Structure 1
Amino acid sequence: MPDTLPRQSSTLSGLLPALGAYGIWCLFPLYFALLKDVAPFEVVVWRLMCTLPFCLGAIVVLRQGPALRAALTTPRILGALALSGLLIGTNWLIYVVAVMDGHVLAASLGYYINPLVNVLAATVFLKEKLTRRQWIAVALAAIGVALLAKGALDTLWISVVLALSFAGYGLTRKLAPVEALPGLTVETLVLLVPALGLLSWQVQQPGGLAMGSSTGISLLLLCAGPLTAIPLMLFATAARRLDFSVLGFIQFVTPTGLFLMSVFVFGEPLKPIQLVCFAFIWCAIAVFCWDILSRRKAG
């Protein structure tokens, strides 16, 4: 009994930042809709370029310079953050290009597949044990995702790359012994050189750079820094405090929010197969929550 309260407190302290991160990510389509006239590569570049000064400023304000220095001078941590940086950079690039090219279903499907990949990674790499009810929940969610994937086979590669890259990012951040802000700062430093390369390439394109073309667009692009950094810091915090399988199931919040926004904000038609898919997934979430609550009461 003495270990139960600290464990429950840790779970709650991880649950809140997880819900915060996934809730913010639900709103990203609104942000990208305002940038519909900006080239996808430029959006990715400014996400990186504006995230770094935001992180460095937060490092100074929160006095986390020693933690940043330790991350940069410890080869094992630096290697892990270089890997997580490349994974999240790949995820950003594929997601932005997919959404701005009109492949919203493929992008949202990737984040439906991702929780299943997280659960698999938790059992294989972290040796987390799932109960019988949790395996039932995984099976229900897998059926729902499979039904949705059947209608998007031509763009399924987008979904798979998004799911694998974000699951790999989450797993790497969970295992890396570094706090959220110093870790994200190192990741953006790692991606700075590729970002500068993309920026120089975009300058040579016929449309040039959107930054500076108007005050509104410039301000929106500058906002990419905090909009990128804040949910990623929340996610990294949650990844360190929650079981990876639990973190995965909470992630169903994001694609469900994207679905609701597509129907009620952007007016996309609601397909019967989507309703069936969501029925399976929400049944899975109900079973998963039931299992967690019942085990907590038993403890």
Structure 2
Amino acid sequence: MSFPSGDAAVPATSRTAFVGAGYAVAAYLTWALLALYWKALAHVPAIDVMLHRAVWSVLFILVLIAVSGRLPMLAGTLRKPKSLAVLAATAALLASNWYMFIWAMQLNYALEASLGYYINPLVNVLLGVVILREPLSRIRRIAVGLATVGVTLLSVSLGVPPYLALFLALTFGLYGLLRKMAPADPLVGLAIESGWMALIAIPWLLLRESEGFGGMGRFGPGTDALLVAAGVVTAVPLIWFNAAAKRLQLSTLGLFQYIAPTGMFLIAVFINGEALTTTHIVTFVLIWAALGLVAFETLRNRARVA
């Protein structure tokens, strides 16, 4: 799973903002529902699902790039060695994030995965402080402290840290940080990242098929369709996200990002029936409070600028 960043323009009218909000809800809700999509492929090894996602993504996105007239943009990015190197690194981070998320959904770890994407904005704050030397406001220090207390409580209760949540948050945070070093159109960037993955995916999948262990053609047309459509469900919400980014301010768009982990949380509890202990509830409440503080500061700063 990935929630890419984009350049947002200030909406010219309330109608523009309303349409942008609709696109944002559609994008983040789709990312939440991917929890059910990957669960439907639980009978296929997660590594195979992830690699199929990469292959079908690059094919589908290349068609979209051609149709939308972005081929010159793609060619320009391919001529930049630095961008290609950075996108190779982001591809590795994205692949590991995709794999762990798919694995988690297949084995009913949606609750911990949702925790990871809730704390991701706070991980971004820490990465900004540690790597970019960005100042940390008092409100954000309190927010990070609340999240740290929440994760510590859960770690003590479980006997181990929530490694899955921390892994998803950290890999996605580093992914977003590195992507800023290779500014590229989101579709073009994802095409190149998927292309890097496909260099490994295609030989792997062909080998699996030749040995009779591949996912394609082994479990019936329904599974085949889901594997192929993985490229579509990867690209379409990205298109909706970009449509939203063109119509909304980034501070406004950022508030919609909590739809995805909230959807995963609800799926985990009410569909998967995953255990929600008192410690889980306390942890989530602390993190929600932390996110509320960050959102409050963002909106307050926006009001001051306006």
TM, length-normalised to structure 1: 0.82
Q: What does residue range 88-167 of structure 1 map to in structure 2 within 5 Å?
A: 88-154=94-160, 156-167=162-173
Q: What does residue range 1-299 of structure 1 map to in structure 2 within 5 Å?
A: 9=10, 21-154=27-160, 156-203=162-209, 207-211=213-217, 213-232=219-238, 242=250, 251-299=257-305
For the structure 1 residues 159 and 291, does the alpha-carbon distance in structure 2 shift closer, same or farther, using more than 3 Å as the test?
closer
For the structure 1 residues 168 and 145, does the alpha-carbon distance in structure 2 shift closer, same or farther, using more than 3 Å as the test?
same
For the structure 1 residues 155 and 128, does the alpha-carbon distance in structure 2 shift closer, same or farther, using more than 3 Å as the test?
closer
Calculate percent identity across the aligned residue pairs.
36
> Counterpart amino acid of 1:186?
I
SS in 2 for 1:223: helix
For the structure 1 residues 274 and 260, does the alpha-carbon distance in structure 2 shift closer, same or farther, using more than 3 Å as the test?
same
CA contact (8 A) 2:108 2:272 kept: no
> Counterpart amino acid of 2:114?
S
TM, length-normalised to structure 2: 0.80
| Alpha-carbon offset, residue 18 of structure 1 | 6.5
> Counterpart amino acid of 2:231?
G
User: CA RMSD of the aligned region, Å?
Assistant: 3.1
| Alpha-carbon offset, residue 275 of structure 1 | 1.6
CA contact (8 A) 2:110 2:264 kept: no
Where in structure 2 are there 5+ consecutive unaligned residues? 1-6, 12-16
CA contact (8 A) 1:109 1:145 kept: no
Distance 1:106 1:32 in 2: 16
Distance 2:157 2:212 in 1: 36
> Counterpart amino acid of 1:65?
L
CA contact (8 A) 1:50 1:225 kept: yes
Tell me which moved more, 58-67 or 156-165: 156-165
CA contact (8 A) 2:152 2:161 kept: no
Where in structure 1 are there 5+ consecutive unaligned residues? 1-5
CA contact (8 A) 1:56 1:185 kept: yes
Distance 2:240 2:177 in 1: 15
Aligned residues: 287
Distance 2:214 2:45 in 1: 9
For the structure 1 residues 114 and 151, does the alpha-carbon distance in structure 2 shift closer, same or farther, using more than 3 Å as the test?
farther
CA contact (8 A) 1:38 1:210 kept: no
SS in 2 for 1:37: coil
Distance 2:225 2:116 in 1: 29
SS in 2 for 1:195: helix
CA contact (8 A) 2:100 2:164 kept: yes
Q: 1:111-140 CA deviation, whole Å, 9 max, x = no partner?
A: 344332211112233344343223222222
